[in-house]
Structure 1
Amino acid sequence: MTVIVTGATGGAGSWIVEDLARDDHEVVGVDLERPPRARESVTFLEADLREQGQTWELVQTYEPDAVVHFAAIPRNEITPGTETFLTNVESTYHVFEAAGRIGADVVWASSESIYGSVFAEEPWLPEYFPIDEDHPLRPEDPYATSKLVGEDLAAATALKYGISVTSIRPSWITYPGSQQTARGRETFDPETADPNGNFWSYVDVRDVVSIVRAVLEADPEADREGHGHGSHDVYLAAAENNFLDRPTAEVIETVFGDLPDSCALEGNQSAFSTEKARRELDWRPEHTWEDAELEQVPGPLFLE
C-alpha cells in the first residue's frame, strides 16, 4: 500500500509514519519541514498544504491508495484564532479534494474538542455520559470549529467522489514515559479544580496509531454504519479510563456541581465511549496511564 501521511514530523503523525514504514508500506511523509534523519521506505517532502497547487501535485504524483491527514495547528493559542481556523480548513479542503480526484480513501484527525466543551470559555456538561459520536456538536472556538468544518468537508468529499473518508476524534493524546498524566493527577484537587472540558480523558499515541491502522485495514464489505460508496465514518478514540485514578462521575459532579440526567459512567470509565470503534472496527484501546507513565518506548527514530 502507498500512503501519504501529512503532519509527518508532528506528534501523532510521526508515530503513524513509523508504524506504516515498519510494515513495509510505501510512505510519503509531508510536513512544513523534513526530519533530521531519513527513514527507509519513507519519502519525506516539504509542502505547505494551504497551497492548492503543492497539495494537488504531490497527491497526483504519488497516487496513494490512502491519505492519512494529521497536519494541522493542533490547538488554540499557538497562532491567532483566524490563522488556526483558516490553516486547518484550507489544508483539509485541499487534501480531501486532491485525494478524491484520484480515488484515494482518507483517514484524518478530527478532535474530541468538536463537541464544544474542551475550549469553551466556561466548560459545560454534555447531554449525557458517556459521550458518543452522536452527541450534538457545539464548538465556539477557532480550533474546534475548524474540525467541525473539516467533518462537513469529509462528508461532502466522500459523497462527491465516492471515496471513504474517516474522521477520528482523539481525546488528549499522551506519550509513553512523558509523565503528562502524572503531573495532572498529582496536582489535582477536586475541591479547587477548574472544570475540565474533556473530563480528564486521554488516549495513548499508540492507540491513535492502531485505530488509524484499523481503518486502513478494515474490510470494505464489513458491516459499518453508513459505510460503503461515498461514506463518511466517525470514531472516537480514548483510553478506557480517566487519568486521575478517581471515579469519573464523582469527580465531574464535584468539580462541575452537577451531572446530566443521563449518566452511565462506572468507576474510572472514560467520559468518551469507544463502543462504535469496537463494534465496527474491532478496535479497542490497549494502553492506559498506569503502564505508559513508567514505559520507556523510543519514539520515531527519524526525529532524533
Structure 2
Amino acid sequence: MKIVVTGATGGAGSWIVDHFASEGHEVLGLDLERPAGEHENASFLAVDLAEQGQAWEAILAHDPDAVVHAAGIPRMGETTGTETFLTNVETAYHVFEAAGRAGADVVWTSSESLYGTAFAAEPFLPDYLPIDEAHPQRPEDGYGTSKLVGEELAAKTVRKHGISVASIRPSWIQYPGEYHTADEREAFDPETADPAGHFWSYVDVRDVVSIVEAALEADVDGHEAYHAMAAENYLGRPTTETIEAAFGDLPEDCALEGEESAFSTAKARRDLGWEPAHSWRDAETAAVDGPAFLAD
C-alpha cells in the first residue's frame, strides 16, 4: 500500500512508519520537521498540518491508499488547553478532508481521554466498569474535547466521502525498555493514592502499531472506535480494590476481575481480531530497538 503517516517523528507515529516501511509499504511521513536519518521505503516531508494548503498538497500528491493520523499535541500540560484543542482539531480536519478527497481510508489516534475522567478538575468514576466504547463522553479539558470533536470530524468525513475511519482510543502509551509505569507502581500507596482518571491503564506502542495494522486490514464500515489497552493495569494490584481505595467508591455496575484493565477491548477483538500482546511485566526491561531513522 501507499500510506501517509502523520506525526512521523513522534512516539507512536515513528513506530508506525518503521513497521509499515519495513513491511515493504510505500510510506510518506509527515511532521513539523524531517528526521535526520533515512528509512528504506519511507520518505519524509516537513509539513505544518494546521495549514490546510500544506496538508492537502502533501497528502493528495502522494495519492495514498490509507492515511494513519498520529500527529497532534499528545496530552494536557504540553501547552495551553486552547492551543491543544485548536491544534488537534485543525490538523484532524485538514488530514481527514484530504484523505477523503484522495479516497484513502483513515486510522487515527483518538484517546480514552474523551470520556473526561483523565483530566477532570474533580476526578469522577465511570458509569460502569469495564468501560467500553459506548460509554458517555464528558471531557472538560482541551485535549479530551479535541479527541471528541475529532471523532465527530471522522464521522463527517465518512458521510461526505464514503471512506472508512477507525478511531483508535489508546491509554497511556509506553515504550519497551522505557516504561514510566515502574516509578508509579513503586510509589503507589492505596492509603494515600490520588484518583487516576486512566484507572492505571496503559498500552505498549507495539500493540498500538498492531491495532493500526489490524484496522487497515479489516473491512471497517463507516466510522468505528476501538480501545487499545493492555490486558491488565500496571500496578499489579486488583483493579476494583485499587479504584475503590483511591476514589472511595465503585460504580454500581462493576464486572472486573483481578488485575483486568478498566477498559474493555472486546470490540477490537471481535471486529479486528486484535488483542494486546505485551505486558509491563516483560516490556519494562525489554531490549527492543526503536525506529532507527530517528537516531541517525
Query: Which band: TM-score by shorter chain?
Result: over 0.9
Q: Residue 213 of structure 1 aligns to a residue in which SS?
A: helix
**Secondary structure at the counterpart of residue 215 of structure 1:** helix
* Equivalence for 1:264: 255
Q: Secondary structure at the match of 1:135?
A: coil
Structure 1 residue runs of 4 or more that deviate by more than 6 Å after TM superposition: none
2:91 aligned residue: 91
Shift of 1:184: 0.9
Instruction: Kindly indicate whether residue 223 of structure 2 is the aligned counterpart of residue 232 of structure 1.
Output: yes
Counterparts of 2:60 and 2:145, CA distance in 1: 29
Q: Which residue of 2 aligns with 1:139?
A: 139
1:36 deviates by 1.4
Q: State the distance in 2 between where 1:137 and 1:62 align.
A: 35
CA shift in 2, pair 1:197/1:104, >3 Å: same
TM-superposed deviation, 1:198: 0.5
> Could you state the TM-score of these two structures normalised by the residue count of structure 1?
0.96
The one-letter amino acid paired with 2:64 is: P
Q: Distance in 1 between matches of 2:200 and 2:190?
A: 12
* 1:14 alignment partner, SS class: helix
- Superposition TM-score, scaled by structure 2 size: 0.99
Deviations 1:165-185 (A, max 9, x none): 110000100111114111110
Is the partner of 1:4 in helix, strand or coil?
A: strand
Secondary structure at the aligned position of 1:96 is classed as helix
Deviation per residue, 1:49-101 (Å, 9 max, x gap): 00000011111100000000000000111111111110100010000001101
Identify the match of residue 248 of structure 1 among 236, 239, 251.
Answer: 239
CA distance, structure 2, for counterparts of residue 170 and residue 207 of structure 1: 10
In 2, the alpha carbon distance for the partners of 1:189 and 1:259 equals: 18
Specify whether residues 99 and 265 from structure 1 end up closer, same or farther in structure 2 by C-alpha distance, changes over 3 A only.
same
How far apart, CA to CA, are the structure 2 residues paired with 1:289 and 1:50?
A: 35
- 3-state SS of the aligned residue for 2:54? helix
Which residue of structure 1 aligns with residue 288 of structure 2?
A: 297
Q: Distance in 2 between matches of 1:123 and 1:132?
A: 19
Q: Secondary structure at 2:35's aligned position in 1?
A: coil
CA deviations 1:90-117 (Å, max 9, x no partner) are 0100000011011110000100101000
Aligned to 1:224: none
In structure 1, the partner of 2:152 is: 152
In structure 1, C-alpha distance between the alignment counterparts of 2:278 and 2:76, rounded to whole Å? 27
Structure 1: 5+ residue stretches without partners: 221-226
Give the corresponding residue for 1:200: 200
1:208-253 deviation per Cα after TM superposition (whole angstroms, max 9, x unaligned)? 00000001111x2xxxxxx43xx00100000000000000000100
Q: Distance in 2 between matches of 1:16 and 1:33?
A: 17
Question: Alignment RMSD, CA only?
Answer: 0.7
Q: Find the counterpart in structure 2 of residue 281 from structure 1.
A: 272
Partner of 2:168: 168
Q: 2:125: which partner in 1?
A: 125
CA distance in 1, matches of 2:258, 2:15: 31
AA aligned to 2:223 is: H
Separation in 1, partners of 2:33, 2:58: 15
- Give, in whole Å, the separation in 2 of the partners of 1:41 and 1:189: 48
Q: Distance in 1 between matches of 2:101 and 2:120?
A: 36
CA–CA separation in structure 2 for the residues paired with 1:118 and 1:80: 16
Count how many residue pairs are aligned between Structure 1 and Structure 2: 295
Deviation at 1:123, TM superposition (A): 1.4
Letter of the structure 1 residue corresponding to residue 281 of structure 2: E
Counterpart residue identity of residue 38, structure 1:
E
Give identity over the alignment, percent.
66
Q: Residue 36 in 1 paired to residue 36 in 2?
A: yes
Report the Cα offset of residue 33 of structure 1: 0.5
Consecutive unaligned residues in structure 2, runs of 5 or more: none
Question: Is 1:68 equivalent to 2:88 in the alignment?
Answer: no
